[in-house]
Amino acid sequence: MTVPRVLHLADEGEAADLAAFLGRLLHYDRGAAVRLQAAGTALAVFGRPPSFEVLTIRAVRLEKPYEDGLDRTLDVTVSAGEFLESVDETAATAVVPGAVTGPPWAGVLPPRGGWRAEPGLPAPDALRTMVAAAVAEFRSRTQELAPELRTRAELDRIGREIWSRTVADTGLPVRAVHAAQSLGFLRPGGEGGLGLFSSGTWLRLRTPYGSVAVRTAGLGTLGFSVR
C-alpha cells in the first residue's frame, strides 16, 4: 500500500491561497495539470492556462522541510483538480496525487537562476488600467463585426493582435499582465514586490502572490531549462 505524501503548508492562509490559485487554473482548463517542485520549506506550483499562453508559478511556503522517506525533494506532474481536492485549508495540508503524463510545457521550465532585473515596468495601477483598456478594446472591436464576420478565426486574430502588444519598452506581452491579474497575482497590496526579470530567452513578471513567465523565442532556442 502506497503511503500518501502529505505537504504541511505554512498556515491556513497559505492553504487558502493555493486552493484559490488551483481553482483559477481549472476555470480556464478543467483538465489542467500542474508540476510540483518542493525542496526545503518551499513548494513551486507551475501551471499553464491555455487562454494566455504563459507559464504561471505560485510559490507556497511549507511549515517544515519536505521529506518522504529518504527523499528530500519532490518533482512530479499531477492533476490540478485532484490536487485541489486534497487541500485541507483548516489543517493546512495537501496530499500529492499520483503522477500523470505531463503536457509538453511541463518539461520546459524557466531557469532557476541567472535572473536580472529589467527596467521600464509601469506601476501596478497603470498595468491594471492597461489590461482593462485591452479587454474593452477587444469587446468593442468584436461587437462591431458583422455577424457573418464574427468567426472564431477573426476573434482569435483580434485577440492575438491586442494581447501580443508589449508593455512599454519592456518586451513583456500584455497577455502576461492579463494572466497575472486573472490568476490573482496582480492585486492591491503587492506593489512593493512587483518586478520584471530576464534570464536567457525568458521574461518573468514577479509579484508577491506569484509569477508569470513567458519565452521570447521558440523551443529550439538556447536559454531554457528542460528538467
User: Is the per-residue pLDDT at 165 higher than 70?
Assistant: yes
How large is the average pLDDT for residues 164-175? 95
Closest CA to 8 of 50, 40, 53: 40
User: Is the per-residue pLDDT at 90 higher than 80?
Assistant: yes
Question: What pLDDT score does 119 carry?
Answer: 95
Confidence of residue 191 (pLDDT cuts 50, 70, 90): low
Question: What pLDDT score does 62 carry?
Answer: 97
Percent of the chain with pLDDT over 70: 93
Question: What pLDDT score does 99 carry?
Answer: 95
**pTM recorded for the entire structure:** 0.89
Q: Integer distance in angstroms from the first to the last C-alpha of the chain?
A: 29
How large is the average pLDDT for residues 183-187? 91
Compute CA distances 120 → 128, 196, 204, whole Å: 16, 8, 13
Question: What pLDDT score does 222 carry?
Answer: 31
User: Is the per-residue pLDDT at 220 higher than 70?
Assistant: no
- pLDDT, one tens digit per residue, over 10-68 is 999 999 999 999 999 999 999 999 999 999 999 999 999 998 999 999 999 999 999 98
How large is the average pLDDT for residues 97-116? 92
Question: If you average pLDDT over every residue of the chain, what do you get?
Answer: 91
Within 10 Å of residue 54's Cβ, how many Cβ atoms? 26
C-alpha cell of residue 172: 513583456
The CATH architecture one would assign to domain 5-108 is Roll (3.10)
Question: What pLDDT score does 68 carry?
Answer: 87
Question: What pLDDT score does 1 carry?
Answer: 58
Q: CATH 3.10.150 in the chain: give the residue spans.
A: 5-108
C-alpha cell of residue 212: 508569470
Question: What pLDDT score does 217 carry?
Answer: 67
User: Is the per-residue pLDDT at 190 higher than 50?
Assistant: yes
Choice among 57-66, 166-175, 188-197 with the minimum mean pLDDT? 188-197
Under 8 Å between Cβ of 44 and 75: no
Under 8 Å between Cβ of 202 and 213: yes
Question: What pLDDT score does 214 carry?
Answer: 96
Please give the Cα distance from 72 to 167 (Å, whole number).
40
- Please report where in the chains the cell 498595468 appears, as a residue: 127
Long-range contacts of 64-69 (CB under 8 A, 24+ apart): 64/8, 65/40, 65/41, 66/7, 66/38, 66/39, 66/40, 66/41, 68/5
